[in-house]
């Protein structure tokens, strides 16, 4: 079992670049059950009120999902007491330089061949101004992730820039956001990753993953952490999270409550 503390070198790298890959940090046996549960959930997303983060048309109940987005912890309460959750919370606090708490998680599963691209975005673009500099995400794959599957890419030092303008991609009915038009891809760093390793990124760091073009599922878990003193408020939302966005999100909530009919 290997659940290290963050070294001074790792903390310095993260604070300079806004992301870090921590190799061989997670015990493979510890995440096996989570992988099995995530695999079942991702293949039966409607049953678990999962959303298609790339929902662009048609009935959510009848269509094929392109990017399954659903909470692991809400469907498996034991996730809260796993060694990897406790470690990720501790390591995140060390990287950020202040104590953070677990906020929420997301299974992000891309099906074989038609798993959708996740566009460039900053988590703070979703979370709002109140979370400025106060959040961090741990991205944990359940298997090796190659370029063909869609590994993580980060903008080096992007957390030190302003929050870029985000928008919903044309035709999208989900709440997915994109800052593709403003991101400087010349600063992009690609991070292929082996199972047992994880990435951490600052809430203001632009990041993305490409589509899954392989014959295998690409499954990962994004664990989000924040300063416990910070709360989301409507007043703290960015303009792209108001108006039309809220109407779209309300429609999704209505669909969920009706059982995806």
At CA 154, angle to CA 148 and CA 159, rounded to 5?
Answer: 165
CA 153 – CA 31 distance, rounded (Å): 23
Within 8 A by CB and 6+ apart from 191, the residues are 19, 21, 151, 152, 153, 154, 199
pLDDT at 1 over 80: no
Confidence at 243, pLDDT banded by 50, 70, 90: low
Distances in Å between the Cα of 193 and the Cα atoms of 152, 182, 198, 257, 258 are: 8, 26, 7, 37, 39
The predicted-structure confidence for 119-156, as pLDDT tens digits, reads as follows 999 999 999 999 999 999 999 999 999 989 999 999 99
User: Mean pLDDT over residues 8-27, rounded?
Assistant: 97
Average pLDDT of every residue of the chain: 91
- Give the pLDDT confidence score for residue 77 in this predicted structure: 95
Q: Is the pLDDT of residue 116 over 60?
A: yes
Mean pLDDT of 218-239: 94
Per-residue confidence at 249, pLDDT binned at 50, 70, 90? low
Check residue 46 and give its pLDDT.
84
Please tell me the pTM assigned to this model. 0.92
| Integer Cα distance of 62 and 236 in angstroms | 36
Is the pLDDT confidence value at 251 over 60? no
Task: Tell me how far the alpha carbon of residue 35 is from its chain's centroid.
Answer: 16
Question: What is the mean predicted confidence (pLDDT) over 181-191?
Answer: 96
Residue 253, Cα to own-chain centre: how many angstroms? 20
Give the residue with greater pLDDT, 256 vs 19. Answer: 19
Tell me whether residue 171 is exposed, middle or buried, using C-beta atoms within 10 angstroms of its C-beta: 0 to 12, 13 to 18, 19 or more.
exposed
- Mean pLDDT of the region 247-252: 53
Which stretches of 127-206 are assigned E, i.e. beta strand? 135-141, 152-155, 188-191, 198-202
Q: Does the pLDDT value for residue 216 go beyond 50? A: yes
CA 1 to chain centre: 25
The most confident of 66-70, 89-93, 233-237, by mean pLDDT: 89-93
- In the structure, how many helices (H) and strands (E) does the chain have? 5, 11
- Kindly give, in sequence order, each residue whose CB lies less than 8 Å from that of residue 239, ignoring residues fewer than 6 positions away: none
Q: Which residues contact 153 (CB under 8 A, 6 or more apart)?
A: 188, 189, 190, 191, 207, 208, 209, 210
pLDDT band at 172 (very low <50, low <70, confident <90, very high): confident
Confidence of residue 250 (pLDDT cuts 50, 70, 90): low
Query: Residue 120 to residues 154, 182, 210, 248: CA-CA distances in angstroms?
Result: 9, 9, 10, 20
Q: What are phi and psi of 30, to 5 degrees?
A: -70, -30
Structural domains of the chain ordered from first start: 9-251 (2.60.120.620)
Cα–Cα distance measured from residue 161 to residue 255, given in angstroms and rounded to the nearest whole number: 37
Q: For 42-77, write each residue's pLDDT tens digit.
A: 999 888 888 888 888 766 666 688 999 999 999 999
- pLDDT of 69 reads 94
């Amino acid at each position: 079992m290997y659940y290290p503390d963050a070294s001074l070198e790792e903390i310095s790298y993260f604070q300079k670049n806004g992301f870090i890959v921590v190799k061989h940090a997670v015990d493979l046996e510890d995440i096996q059950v989570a992988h099995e549960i995530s695999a079942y959930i991702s293949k039966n997303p409607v049953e678990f009120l999962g959303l298609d983060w790339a929902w662009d048309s048609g009935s959510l109940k009848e269509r094929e999902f392109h990017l399954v987005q659903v909470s692991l912890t809400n469907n498996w309460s034991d996730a809260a007491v796993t060694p990897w959750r406790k470690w990720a919370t501790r390591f995140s606090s060390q990287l950020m330089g202040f104590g953070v708490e677990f906020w929420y998680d997301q299974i992000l599963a891309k099906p074989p061949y038609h798993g959708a691209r996740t566009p460039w975005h900053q988590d703070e673009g979703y979370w709002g101004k109140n979370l400025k500099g106060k959040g961090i995400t741990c991205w944990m794959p359940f298997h090796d992730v190659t370029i063909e599957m869609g590994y993580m890419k980060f903008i080096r030092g992007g957390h030190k820039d302003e929050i870029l303008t985000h928008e919903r991609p044309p035709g999208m009915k989900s709440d997915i956001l994109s800052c593709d038009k403003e991101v400087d891809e010349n600063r992009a760093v690609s991070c292929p990753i082996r199972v047992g390793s994880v990435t951490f990124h600052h809430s203001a760091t632009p990041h993305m993953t490409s589509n899954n073009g392989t014959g295998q599922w690409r499954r990962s878990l994004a664990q989000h952490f924040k300063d416990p003193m910070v709360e989301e408020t409507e007043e703290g939302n960015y303009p792209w999270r108001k108006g039309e966005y809220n109407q779209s999100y309300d429609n999704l909530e209505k669909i969920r409550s009706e059982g995806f009919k």
